[in-house]
Chains A and B, each alone.
Chain A
C-alpha cells in the first residue's frame, strides 16, 4: 500500500528509508539476458547470452570494448548501456592522453558509479537502467566489477547478472575457489557452464549464435570472441551437440511413403 504512494519520484524517500525508483531501475537489469564474469590471477573473462527479437533478427551485442585493457558486458536497457560505454571510452582515451598510461579499472568504475549516482539525486533525471560487468587487467592484476543503477559498484571474484542469474551464481559459488589457478581455456569453459545454468531446459541451449565471450589478461588485450569463433568452446561443453543437430535435421523431414 505505502509503496505506491512514495515510488513515483526519484527524489522521494519511502517511510522505511528506501528510494523505490532506484529499486525499480535495478529490476530493469534483472530483465536483461544473463551475463557472467570471472577471473583468475592473469585473466578476466566475460561470457554472455545474446537475445534476438525474432528468428529473422540479429542477436543483440552484449559485450563491448572500452580500451585495450578493459571491456564490459551489459544487462538491461541497451540504449543506456551504449551511452555509458561511450562515456567510458572517452574517459579512458582522455586519461591516456593526459597521463600517457592505461587507466586503472577501479578509477574508471568509480567514475561510472559517480555519474550514475547523479541520476538518483537530481529531479527530472532517471537512473540508468543497465548493469555493467567490467572486466579489466591493469598494473594491479585482473579485475571484475559490477555497476548498478543505484551508483554502487562492487568488486568480485566472479559474478552473474540478468535473467535467471541466480542459477549461474550457484554454479560459481560451487567452483570459484578453483578459478585463481585456471588457465584461460578452463576459465572460459567454467563461464560457459555457469551461463548454461541460466537457460530454461526447453530452449536450444548454448550455440555459437547466442553466446558472446570477452577475454583480457596480462598478455591479451581485450578481445571479443563471437559467432563462428565461439564454436570450439561451445563444442567442449556440448560434446554431442553436432550429433543432436543431425538427429534434429532427419526428424524435420517426414519420410516419404507411397
Chain B
C-alpha cells in the first residue's frame, strides 16, 4: 500500500461534510464577527479600528469582543469573518514570528507577517474564513494590507473589511487625506467605525482603536462607547407588609420528627 503521506492539506473531511449536508443533516453554526474593521496610514504611522460585536446568526454572542489582534510589538491585525479562524490564524502567525525574530535577531517586517498569513490561507483554499487588515510599522516605514480568505492581498493607504465595510468606506472616501496628524487619523477611523456600528446590523457596541508608531503601540480600548447599557438601578425588594397575610399556620421543625444517623460502611 503506497504511503500517501506526501504533505499538503487533505480535503477528505470537507467532502464528507458536504455529503452529510446534502443528505439533510443541519450543520452546526459558527460564530461570525459580522464586523466593521478599518485601517488608515497617517504621517507617523498606522491607525487600526474595529467595532466590538460578535454575532451568531441573528443573536449577539459577544457585546465587547476584541477584534484587533497582537501579531508582534510593531504589527497588529484586525480580523473579520469566523471569530475562531481569525483568532487562531493570527495567534499561529504571531507564534511563528516570535521564533523568526529570535532566529534572525531583527525586528519583524510587516511583509513577513503578510506572506505567512496569505500562504496559510491559500493552503486552506478559503475554508479558513478570515478576512484581515494587517497594519504595522517597520524599518521600511508604516504599511497597511488587506488579506482575503482565499489568500489574495492588497496594500493601500486606507482599507475597510467586514459586513460594515461599505458604510465605513463611504466615510473614508469622503474624508481621507494623506499625511494626517494622529488626532485627525483617530477621529477619521472612529467616524468610519461608528458609521458601521449604526448602519450595519452585524456591527455594534464600542469603537476600539490601536495606534502604531515608531515609538511603540498605543491601545485605546473603548475609545468611544456610543451604546452604553443603562442597567436597571431599582432593586426588586418590596417593603414588609406589601403582601397582606390572610391566615397563618405554624409547623413543628423537621428535626423533631426525623432522626439523622450515620450508617457504618460495610466492606
Q: Which residues of A pack against B, CB within 8 Å?
A: 65-66, 86, 89-90, 93-94, 96-97
Whether B91 lies near A93 (C-beta < 8 A) is: no
- By a CB distance below 8 angstroms, the chain A residues around B91 are 97
Whether A65 lies near B92 (C-beta < 8 A) is: no
- By a CB distance below 8 angstroms, the chain A residues around B99 are 89-90, 93
Cα distance, A93 to B94, chains bound together (Å)? 9
- By a CB distance below 8 angstroms, the chain B residues around A94 are 95
- By a CB distance below 8 angstroms, the chain A residues around B92 are 97
- By a CB distance below 8 angstroms, the chain A residues around B98 are 93, 96
Cα distance, A113 to B98, chains bound together (Å)? 24
- By a CB distance below 8 angstroms, the chain A residues around B95 are 93-94, 96-97
- By a CB distance below 8 angstroms, the chain B residues around A90 are 99
- By a CB distance below 8 angstroms, the chain B residues around A93 are 95-96, 98-99
* B102 on the A face (CB < 8 A): yes
Cα distance, A71 to B8, chains bound together (Å)? 35
Chain A residue with the shortest CB-CB distance to B96: A93
Cα distance, A174 to B98, chains bound together (Å)? 40
Cα distance, A89 to B100, chains bound together (Å)? 10
The minimal Cβ–Cβ distance linking B43 to chain A, given in whole angstroms, is 30
The minimal Cβ–Cβ distance linking A16 to chain B, given in whole angstroms, is 43
Cα distance, A71 to B103, chains bound together (Å)? 14
The minimal Cβ–Cβ distance linking B131 to chain A, given in whole angstroms, is 22
Cα distance, A246 to B103, chains bound together (Å)? 40
Cα distance, A105 to B94, chains bound together (Å)? 21
Cα distance, A94 to B91, chains bound together (Å)? 10
Mark each residue of chain B from 78 to 108: 1 if its CB lies under 8 Å from any CB of chain A, else 0: 0000000000000110111011001100000
Cα distance, A207 to B98, chains bound together (Å)? 32
Cα distance, A85 to B171, chains bound together (Å)? 50
Cα distance, A205 to B152, chains bound together (Å)? 58
- Across chains A and B, which 10 residue pairs bring their CB atoms closest together, nearest first? A97-B95, A93-B95, A93-B98, A93-B99, A89-B102, A89-B99, A97-B91, A65-B102, A90-B99, A96-B95
Cα distance, A94 to B92, chains bound together (Å)? 9
- By a CB distance below 8 angstroms, the chain B residues around A86 are 103
- By a CB distance below 8 angstroms, the chain B residues around A89 are 99, 102-103
